[in-house]
């Protein structure tokens, strides 16, 4: 082989075109392969959940900023100490007000944890798992949900997603049942496709987004019938004037029946049980 032939052969085998497609990460991450990547994000979690015999889930959503009482109180105390040192400032007073509201909502962390424990005690049946808690895998209410399942030795799922501010999975998700997504669309599908109920604790934009996704799919009969439970009636009835929407004729009166309100873990669980007793034909189907 001449030097020229040898050099040319080295260029051939070192070219990106010579890499097996399944091993070529640059190719797989190209714009043209977006459809394939979305298919992979659908298939991988589906296979894992099937292998673990996860038959149905209960989605638990809520704010990432709602933390345990001890953490919320520590934040508030730190800000008050800062005020003693620095005096009153508008931005500091605003931070203290927000910390006080965060402390007031810390009860929802405990109640989400208790709800997840209550539900998870009923998760294993006939060699499969039903009513498995699934969260977004992050902190706050999501952590509380996974933690509640962990408290009773039950599995729980975390559907994490890549974000500009990297979000690490909370430590209470069952190993092997935490999945990372790039596409919100695929993550939303996996939330809903096995759902037997949606329980939504107080939260912000992300919580509202997931809530209205589910409401729209239920309103249009594009997914299985499930109860949608808004936990913390005082918060939800102030955050959104549901009756106003019906009075303004932008939704029908019967659409209000898609929602239920609960203020205790047992009340939320009873709503779910009664719904499925009244709707035994409601099967889990992909939206």
Secondary structure in 3-state letters for the chain = CCHHHHHHHHHHHHCHHHCCHHHCHHHHCCHHHHHHHHHHHHHHHHHHHHHCCECCEEEEECCCCCCCHHHHHHHHHHHHHHHHHHCCCHHHHHHHHHHHHHHHCHHHHHHHHHHHHHHHCCCEECCEECCEEEECCCCCHHHHHHHHHHHCCCCEEEEEECCCCCCCCCCCCCCCCEEEECCHHHHHHHHHCCEEEEEECCCCHHHHHHHHHHHHHHHCCCCCCCCEEEECHHHHHHHCCHHHHHHCCCCCHHHHHHEEEECCHHHHHHHHHHHHHHCCCCCCCCC
In sequence order, the 6+-apart residues with CB closer than 8 A to the CB of 149 are 116, 117, 119, 120, 123, 132, 133, 155, 156, 172, 174
Q: CATH number of the domain that 235 lies in? A: 3.40.50.450
Q: Would you say residue 34 lies in a domain?
A: no
Which pLDDT value is given to residue 281? Answer: 76
d(CA 87, CA 213): 45
Give every residue of the chain whose pLDDT is below 50, as ranges. Answer: 285-287
Q: Would you say residue 18 lies in a domain?
A: no
Asked if 41 and 181 touch (Cβ cutoff 8 Å), the reply is yes
Q: Give, in degrees to the nearest 5, the angle at Cα 130 between 274 and 265.
A: 50
Q: Which residue has the tokens 């997840």?
A: 116
Q: For residue 77, which of 89, 64, 95, 91 has the smallest C-alpha distance? A: 95
Asked if 41 and 184 touch (Cβ cutoff 8 Å), the reply is no
Which pLDDT value is given to residue 175? Answer: 97
Which pLDDT value is given to residue 88? Answer: 84
Give the orientation angle of helix 69-86 with respect to helix 106-120, to 10 degrees.
170
d(CA 225, CA 272): 11
Q: Would you say residue 9 lies in a domain?
A: no
Which pLDDT value is given to residue 283? Answer: 63
Pairing of strands 128-129, 124-125: antiparallel
Q: Would you say residue 147 lies in a domain?
A: yes
Sheet strand arrangement including 57-61: 178-181, 156-161, 132-135, 57-61, 195-200, 228-231, 259-262
Which pLDDT value is given to residue 77? Answer: 95
Which pLDDT value is given to residue 135? Answer: 98
Q: Would you say residue 87 lies in a domain?
A: no
What's the number of domains the chain is made of? 1
Which pLDDT value is given to residue 284? Answer: 56
Q: Would you say residue 24 lies in a domain?
A: no
Q: Would you say residue 89 lies in a domain?
A: no
Q: Domain range holding 222?
A: 40-67+106-278
Asked if 144 and 112 touch (Cβ cutoff 8 Å), the reply is yes
Q: Is 151 left (phi over 0), alpha (psi -120 to 50) or beta?
A: alpha
Q: Would you say residue 11 lies in a domain?
A: no
């Amino acid at each position: 082989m001449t030097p020229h032939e040898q050099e040319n052969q080295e260029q051939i085998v070192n070219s990106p075109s010579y890499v097996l497609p399944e091993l070529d990460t640059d190719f797989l991450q190209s714009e043209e392969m977006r459809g394939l990547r979305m298919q992979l994000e659908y298939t991988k979690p589906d296979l894992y959940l099937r292998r673990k015999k996860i038959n149905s889930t209960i989605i638990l959503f809520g704010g990432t900023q709602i933390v345990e009482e001890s953490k919320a109180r520590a934040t508030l105390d730190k800000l008050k100490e800062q005020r003693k040192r620095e005096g009153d400032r508008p931005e500091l007073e605003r931070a203290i007000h927000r910390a006080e509201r965060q402390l007031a909502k810390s009860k929802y962390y405990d109640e989400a944890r208790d709800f997840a424990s209550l539900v998870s005690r009923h998760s294993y049946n006939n060699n499969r798992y039903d009513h498995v808690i699934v969260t977004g895998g992050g902190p706050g209410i999501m952590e509380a949900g996974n933690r509640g399942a962990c408290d009773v030795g039950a599995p729980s799922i975390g559907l994490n997603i890549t974000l500009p501010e990297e979000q690490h999975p909370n430590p209470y998700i069952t190993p092997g049942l935490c999945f990372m997504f790039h596409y919100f669309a695929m993550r939303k599908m996996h939330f809903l496709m096995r759902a037997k109920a949606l329980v939504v604790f107080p939260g912000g934009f992300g919580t509202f987004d997931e809530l209205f996704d589910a409401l729209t799919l239920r309103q249009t009969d594009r997914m299985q019938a499930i109860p949608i439970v808004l936990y913390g009636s005082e918060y939800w009835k102030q955050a959104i004037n549901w009756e106003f929407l019906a009075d303004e004729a932008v939704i029908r009166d019967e659409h209000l029946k898609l929602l239920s309100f609960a203020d205790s873990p047992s009340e939320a669980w009873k709503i779910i049980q009664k719904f499925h007793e009244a709707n035994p034909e409601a099967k889990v189907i992909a939206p």
